[in-house]
């Protein structure tokens, strides 16, 4: 029953994502490019009118004869010139975009995998989630944050990442300048950038009413998150451990 449900879900999600993730990306980028092309045409039109006004003012000062016929001809030529690429991009509008719940759904199917249908792929899942998030899907933003924190990752994958010695921060610490390295990891194998990424995506989802994202933010802010740079800790010693510690998520839980 579960296998049949997943197969049916895949069928429906495919209908909402014509061309797969690459096809949906082309549609999304086409819409963005079309908007930019329209802005460029509007800017050119404004600049042309400004030049025409300036030219008319100069003619008035010089007392030259009327040359409006020539101006009209130039204006028509300007209006007739349109970049072929921009014309093609204009066909991508809101109605042409892939269905963002389906895009997010395909990301989930690739994340978990569907036996005999889809092999699990975090890379492809991430592409779907990122696109769905760009399309405004709050579930996809939540999923990206959870993945960055280790959801559906191999057990112990982040904790087993080899330790990286940042010689720049180590040498600076020996000179008395303690700055926690961006490579430093907490007990879960997460870096400052991991938490920053997760917070940004949780906030995106929470701002749109995502209850689970709000719950996760509450957990993070209720306890806060600190990262201890082990290399700096060896230099600082127990009495100056605070110099090797960075509060990457500040505790914010009013009592």
Please report the pLDDT score of residue 89 as a whole number. 45
pLDDT of residue 40: 65
Residue ranges of the chain with per-residue pLDDT less than 70 = 1-4, 34-42, 62-95, 155, 254-255
Phi, psi of 246, rounded to the nearest 5 degrees: -125, 130
pTM equals: 0.76
Predicted local distance difference test score (pLDDT) of residue 255: 56
pLDDT at 92: 52
pLDDT at 54: 78
Residue 212 sits at φ, ψ, to 5 deg, of: -65, -35
d(CA 205, CA 122): 20
Nearest Cα to Cα of residue 22 among 128, 111, 115, 95: 128
* Sign of the alpha-carbon torsion through 170, 244, 197, 106: positive
Q: Measured between alpha carbons, how far is 39 from 42 in angstroms, rounded to an integer? A: 5
């Amino acid at each position: 029953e579960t296998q049949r449900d997943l197969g049916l879900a895949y069928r429906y999600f495919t209908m909402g994502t014509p061309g797969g993730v690459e096809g949906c990306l082309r549609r999304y980028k086409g819409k963005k490019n079309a908007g930019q092309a329209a802005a460029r045409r509007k800017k050119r039109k404004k600049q042309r009118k400004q030049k025409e006004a300036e030219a008319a003012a100069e003619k008035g000062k010089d007392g030259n004869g009327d040359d409006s016929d020539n101006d009209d001809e130039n204006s028509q030529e300007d209006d007739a010139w349109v970049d072929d690429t921009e014309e093609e991009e204009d066909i991508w509008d809101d109605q042409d975009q892939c269905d963002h719940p389906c895009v997010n759904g395909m990301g989930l199917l690739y994340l978990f995998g569907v036996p005999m249908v889809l092999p699990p792929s975090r890379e492809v899942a991430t592409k779907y989630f990122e696109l769905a998030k760009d399309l405004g899907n709050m579930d996809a933003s939540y999923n990206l944050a959870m993945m960055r924190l280790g959801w559906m990752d191999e057990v112990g994958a982040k904790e087993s990442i080899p330790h990286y010695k940042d010689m720049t921060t180590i040498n600076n610490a020996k000179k008395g300048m303690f700055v926690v390295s961006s490579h430093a990891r907490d007990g879960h194998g997460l870096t400052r950038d991991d938490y920053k990424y997760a917070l940004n995506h949780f906030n995106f989802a929470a701002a749109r009413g995502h209850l689970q994202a709000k719950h996760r933010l509450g957990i993070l802010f209720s306890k806060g998150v600190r990262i201890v740079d082990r290399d700096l800790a060896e230099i600082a010693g127990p009495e100056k451990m605070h110099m090797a510690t960075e509060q990457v998520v500040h505790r914010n839980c009013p009592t």
